[in-house]
Copies of this chain bind each other. A is one copy, B any other.
Amino acid sequence: MNSPVLSGGDPALLRRLNTEAVLGVLRNAEPMTLTRIGQAASLSRQTVDAVIAELTEGGWIEEVAPERSIGRPARRYRFRAEAGHVLGLDIGVTGVRLVLADLDGSVIASDRTRIPEGLGGGARLEAVRSGAEGFLARHPGIRPRSLCLGIPGIIDSGGTVRLSTPLPEWNGLDLVGAASTWFDCPAHAENDANLAALAEHWRGAARHADDFIHVIAGHRTGVGMMLGGRLHRGRGGAAGEIGALALLGWEGPSMNDIREAEDSARLFSDAQAGDSDAAGKVDRFARTVAQGVAAMVLTVNPDLVVIGGGLSRAGEAVVGPIRSHLEQLCLDPPQVDASALGVEAVALGAARMALDHLNDALFGAHVGAAAPSAGPQSRRGVTA
């Protein structure tokens, strides 16, 4: 654990590394000429040429029409995002949200299927599978290369559901094992709050933050966390379960006033309009949320707190009061923003995670067999 021994590599490693570099330049960018790719990746045009030939052969990139300019027209290549697709699933109690994305992460299609209530574990699993199958059937010719399921609960590193309060019938289920057999592609699974955080980091409110906490405020209260640009789960995936500290009141009446209101949006607008009863409830709610968030903020000192979940639809009406209370509780209060992705966050995050695994499987250079070297613990030095 202290000293990861990295193993050496042969010349082929270099090519893998450089392939990854070229691909990294080309994806999420305009079509480019060999020369410009070489400049961006610090490689000679020759090397880029060789890598490009391999990638074209494999169908990952393709040539596009050259731009007209002075001199001999340079070949241009673009990343073929359509060369592969991934499926992200957000599994809720009453339905499943599906997102089909290409290799760029662009959403090709999304949908929501309902799941009947009262289904047993096996029947529910089958309902999810057949719903996904129907969804995919509407997009002929597209087979996912990787999929990821987001569920409300704790999943262990083997892909088995350890504890899901909303879906107790799945406790102990080998979800990844089951889903791996569905569409002849690798499957992955992750807690939904973590996936929402991943999505917000990818293309949501946390695009510019590498340390942030994502609080889902809704019927359930869930927390996802990215630290150092990576999801932080903790031992057993229980990071962020601050609600367990009774002292902070996350399970008390001030939370339930809001969570159990049949029309919480109304409550927030009433409060803003001057209804003092509503305002009192909102303020107590915001204060309670802020207390729990403050404990987490003081612990990890993040750049940002994102408020998501159903209640975040109220926008500033809910975020504003939480922000005010948080500023009183923290020495160095972070930015507080509402979720930018709304209800699709979890499914998008699932697609992102499927994509990450796919990229790693397809193009991962794997320096040695070990983890990338951690390097020193800081950059706080200056050379004499």
A361→B376 CA distance, assembly (Å): 9
Binary interface profile of A, 1-39, with partner B (CB < 8 Å = 1, else 0)?
A: 111011111110110011011101100100000000000
Partner of A377, one of B40, B298, B353: B353
B227 touching A380 by the CB < 8 A rule? no
Q: With contacts A181-B384, A240-B299, A378-B353 known, is A228 near B230, CB below 8 A?
A: yes
A127→B210 CA distance, assembly (Å): 39
Task: Tell whether A374 is near chain B: CB-to-CB under 8 Å.
Answer: yes
Which residues of A from 49 to 79 have beta carbons under 8 Å from B?
A: none
B331 touching A238 by the CB < 8 A rule? yes
- For A375, what are the chain B residues with a Cβ–Cβ distance below 8 Å? 356, 360, 364, 372
Residue in chain B with minimal CB distance to A184: B384
A211→B235 CA distance, assembly (Å): 8
Partner of A376, one of B157, B359, B372, B373: B359
Segment of A128-136, A187-195, A278-286 in the binding face: A187-195
- We find that the number of chain A residues with CB closer than 8 angstroms to chain B is 110
- For A40, what are the chain B residues with a Cβ–Cβ distance below 8 Å? 5, 7
Q: With contacts A380-B155, A381-B187 known, is A239 near B301, CB below 8 A?
A: yes
A17 touching B8 by the CB < 8 A rule? yes
A373 touching B373 by the CB < 8 A rule? no
Q: With contacts A24-B6, A236-B332, A375-B364 known, is A380 near B299, CB below 8 A?
A: no
B235 touching A301 by the CB < 8 A rule? yes
Residue in chain B with minimal CB distance to A240: B299
Task: Tell whether A294 is near chain B: CB-to-CB under 8 Å.
Answer: yes
Partner of A157, one of B28, B180, B233, B380: B380
Residue in chain B with minimal CB distance to A367: B367
Task: Tell whether A302 is near chain B: CB-to-CB under 8 Å.
Answer: yes
Segment of A87-95, A241-249, A263-271 in the binding face: A241-249
B357 touching A381 by the CB < 8 A rule? yes
Q: With contacts A40-B5, A245-B329 known, is A379 near B157, CB below 8 A?
A: yes
- For A240, what are the chain B residues with a Cβ–Cβ distance below 8 Å? 298-299, 301
A329→B21 CA distance, assembly (Å): 48
- For A153, what are the chain B residues with a Cβ–Cβ distance below 8 Å? none
A299 touching B368 by the CB < 8 A rule? no
A72→B208 CA distance, assembly (Å): 60
A301 touching B234 by the CB < 8 A rule? yes
Task: Tell whether A43 is near chain B: CB-to-CB under 8 Å.
Answer: yes
B241 touching A232 by the CB < 8 A rule? no
- For A101, what are the chain B residues with a Cβ–Cβ distance below 8 Å? none
Q: With contacts A8-B17, A242-B298 known, is A235 near B334, CB below 8 A?
A: yes
Residue in chain B with minimal CB distance to A195: B377
Q: With contacts A228-B232, A369-B42 known, is A186 near B381, CB below 8 A?
A: yes
By Cβ-Cβ distance, the 7 closest A-B pairs, closest first, are A234-B301, A372-B372, A356-B376, A7-B42, A188-B381, A8-B18, A295-B295
